[in-house]
Chain A
Amino acid sequence: EAGVAQSPRYKIIEKRQSVAFWCNPISGHATLYWYQQILGQGPKLLIQFQNNGVVDDSQLPKDRFSAERLKGVDSTLKIQPAKLEDSAVYLCASSLPGSFEQYFGPGTRLTVT
């Protein structure tokens, strides 16, 4: 069974530029999560999708971050414009509906200079 795929693995941009991350969850996993993990901290939930609908985006900085999950499969997370404090690893995870166990992708390490 293929795991959660993410791309790119690394990205370096300058502040005020925009960036997008892509995630392909495990087949059949209706629930998809985006997390931000700052160095030395645990993953912090940004947004949770159930199929193509948003379940929770209470911690998503909506003035600069956006996410979509068209067709209920792949998802993209965008930052526009980026700030220095956005430097972090962005993790995508998926799970079966109602399951607590999440399967994580390898993450995208973003560096904003």
Chain B
Amino acid sequence: DQQVKQNSPSLSVQEGRISILNCDYTNSMFDYFLWYKKYPAEGPTFLISISSIKDKNEDGRFTVFLNKSAKHLSLHIVPSQPGDSAVYFCAASPLNTNAGKSTFGDGTTLTVKP
């Protein structure tokens, strides 16, 4: 029973265009969501997050949208750059006493073509 799903294993976009990565979750106890980026042979690095009390959070070229009723979130990268090519993981956490425990999706490999 996978509680966090990233249904697109890969995505390819042209440099300068928008990249949209999607994530669905099933556990209604999840209240905090994060995106991590991972380059080969490195550990994941935190990118951006959003609390369930918001529906949008923006940080430079990165924007995360949350649709709590649909249990869906998305990461928008505008404009996409070749350096954004990496694996992107969606993660979800419950707002309970064990803050920090995250459940990860299986990732989406983004390729940005020059």
Contact = CB atoms under 8 A, between A and B. Distances in A.
Interface stretch (A64-72, A76-84, A97-105): A97-105
Interface of A: 4, 31, 33, 40-45, 48, 55-56, 91, 93, 95, 98-107
B98 A55 contact: yes
Interface of B: 4, 6, 32, 34, 36, 41-46, 49, 89, 91, 93, 98-107
Interface pairs A-B: 8 shortest CB-CB? A104-B43, A42-B104, A42-B106, A101-B46, A43-B104, A104-B44, A98-B99, A41-B106
Given A100-B49, A102-B46, A95 B105 contact: no
B49 A101 contact: yes
A100 B104 contact: no
A19 to B, nearest CB: 19
22 contacts: A31-B100, A40-B106, A41-B106, A41-B107, A42-B105, A43-B44, A43-B89, A44-B104, A45-B103, A48-B100, A55-B98, A55-B101, A56-B98, A91-B43, A91-B44, A98-B100, A100-B32, A100-B100, A101-B34, A103-B46, A104-B43, A106-B42
